[in-house]
Amino acid sequence: MKANPGGIVSPADVVGRERLIAQLWATLERQSLVLVSERRLGKTTIARKMQAEAAPDLRVIYMDIGAVSRAAELVERLAQAIRVHLGATKKATGWLAEQWSALGGLEVGGILRLPESKGPSWKVALDRLLGDLLHSTGQRTILIWDELPWALQKIARTEGEPVVVDLLDLLRSLRQTHPGLRLVYAGSIGLHHVVTGLRDEGYVNSPLEGMCVIEVPPLERSDAAGLAAALLRGEGLAAADAATAACIADLVDAIPFYIHQVVAALADQRRTATPATVAAIIAAALTAPEDPWDLHHFRSRLNEYYQNEASTVRALLDILAETQPLDLNDLHARLQTAFRPDNDRARTLLGADRAPLRNLVRLMQRDHYLDLVPGGAYRFRFDLIRRWWRCDLGLD
């Protein structure tokens, strides 16, 4: 297998994930699900493999909707995906053409479009399209929407947050009305950053009600080493021994994307794969000014994620980059000496009441920055990101 960081992995080349995928199928028997993780852990790879290997009685439609920025566009894309899925039989094409024209839809140059103003709204179109699809065949249907949070963020910007709330509400009601329908929402941005109301616990009418949230973890250690070994072989770096493959897996926290990156760099630089060359490649990736692994992203997204809490989050991560694990009291004490609050919210977080700080740290856990270790102390979720953070602060 060739190193292919960030590319599409064919289902046969997907390493590991058997147990997780079995768990996802079992969950889908019962309910819809939300697939979350830090970016690059392998959500898309898993979703595509599930589509490719679905049982014959299941209809699994995978859609990457990251480019969608209007609710109507989502419905158009769905119609398009259903068309591809149903295939070119006369019955199927006739069914879709009939549905689409009943909704006032058009076909322009092979692309299905909803009219901008006249005709039923995207809500009616979504409701009818899915409802009729499920009724007409009775086949159990799983719709996988990859990068949904990203699409929702764009829809919120172009059409406003109420449209996003309407969309999620309609999807919830469709899930609840049609027993044969399962939705899978996948994406790296937590939906709590998209729909403000979801951020506070206890939000009534949660659009995710009844959905099971499952986190995609790094690969299991033996699978990560297996992936590294397969890539080393595939790149003709076969001299590498098992210790080198294990070293790659360990140094990048068993995250498949970085395993591909390390082997790709070894191959590009025509270096012999040894633990020492692997360590050198990772050290270079963490400090290179071009930031080849795009690690700066973990810092630069903070403003957008946390807004007027961002300066506090940065300070907390700076503190933990220096010393970890630390419990809430230690974090609070260190914040008080090391951090100058720059707004009222930051001042509240530093106050005597620990609840606001505890909630913020919980949110950082939800966003995969932090882990709570036994005994109640916090640490970086991924050592690789902590290493980058230390380099960025000039500590290493």
Ligand X SMILES: Nc1ncnc2c1ncn2[C@@H]1O[C@H](COP(=O)(O)OP(=O)(O)O)[C@@H](O)[C@H]1O
Residues 6+ away with beta carbon under 8 Å from 89: none
160 touches which of ligand X, Mg ion, none (CB within 5 to 8 A by kind)?
A: none
Q: Which residue's CB comes closest to Mg ion?
A: 44
Alpha helix (H) residue ranges in the chain: 18-30, 43-52, 71-86, 90-102, 122-137, 148-159, 161-177, 221-234, 242-251, 256-268, 275-287, 297-300, 302-306, 310-322, 328-338, 344-349, 355-366, 383-392
Orientation angle between helical segments 256-268 and 242-251, nearest 10 degrees: 120
* CA–CA distance, 37 with 23 (Å, rounded to integer): 16
Burial 5-29 (b: 16+ CB within 10 A, else e): beeebeeebbbbbeebbeebeebbe
CB of 258 to ligand X, least distance (A): 8
* The only residue of 59, 192, 260, 386 in contact with ligand X, by rule CB under 6 A: 260
Question: Applying CB under 5 A, what is the total number of residues that bind Mg ion?
Answer: 2
Residues of this chain, 28-67, that bind Mg ion according to CB under 5 A: 43-44
* CA–CA distance, 251 with 278 (Å, rounded to integer): 9
Which is nearer to ligand X, 39 or 221 (by Cβ)? 39
37 touches which of ligand X, Mg ion, none (CB within 5 to 8 A by kind)?
A: ligand X
Residues 244, 209 contacting (CB under 8 angstroms): no
45 touches which of Mg ion, ligand X, none (CB within 5 to 8 A by kind)?
A: ligand X
CB of 11 to ligand X, least distance (A): 10
Which is nearer to ligand X, 42 or 325 (by Cβ)? 42
Stretch that binds ligand X, among 21-29, 94-102, 196-204, 255-263 (CB under 6 A): 255-263
Stretch that binds ligand X, among 8-16, 81-89, 270-278, 304-312 (CB under 6 A): 8-16
CB of 225 to ligand X, least distance (A): 12
**C-alpha dist (Å) from residue 103 to 108, 112, 166, 172:** 15, 11, 19, 22
Orientation angle between helical segments 310-322 and 328-338, nearest 10 degrees: 110
32 touches which of ligand X, Mg ion, none (CB within 5 to 8 A by kind)?
A: none
Question: Applying CB under 6 A, what is the total number of residues that bind ligand X?
Answer: 22
Residues 252, 227 contacting (CB under 8 angstroms): no
Q: What is the CA radius of gyration of the chain?
A: 23
Which is nearer to ligand X, 9 or 321 (by Cβ)? 9
Bridge partners of 183, per DSSP, are 143
Binding string, 9-48, against ligand X, x = CB under 6 A? x----xxxx-------------------x-xxxxxxx---
Residues 6+ away with beta carbon under 8 Å from 230: 1, 15
Cβ atoms within 10 Å of 322's Cβ, excluding its own: 15
Which is nearer to ligand X, 9 or 156 (by Cβ)? 9
Residues 38, 381 contacting (CB under 8 angstroms): yes
CB of 164 to ligand X, least distance (A): 21
Which is nearer to ligand X, 212 or 377 (by Cβ)? 212
Residues 298, 313 contacting (CB under 8 angstroms): no
Binding string, 211-240, against ligand X, x = CB under 6 A? ----------------x-------------
**C-alpha dist (Å) from residue 253 to 128, 223, 258:** 45, 12, 9
249 touches which of Mg ion, ligand X, none (CB within 5 to 8 A by kind)?
A: none
Q: Residue 261 interacts with ligand X (CB under 6 A)?
A: no
Binding string, 137-176, against ligand X, x = CB under 6 A? ----------------------------------------
CB of 17 to ligand X, least distance (A): 5
Bridge partners of 372, per DSSP, are 378
Residue numbers at the binding site for Mg ion (CB under 5 A): 43-44
Residue numbers at the binding site for ligand X (CB under 6 A): 4-7, 9, 14-17, 37, 39-45, 188, 227, 256-257, 260
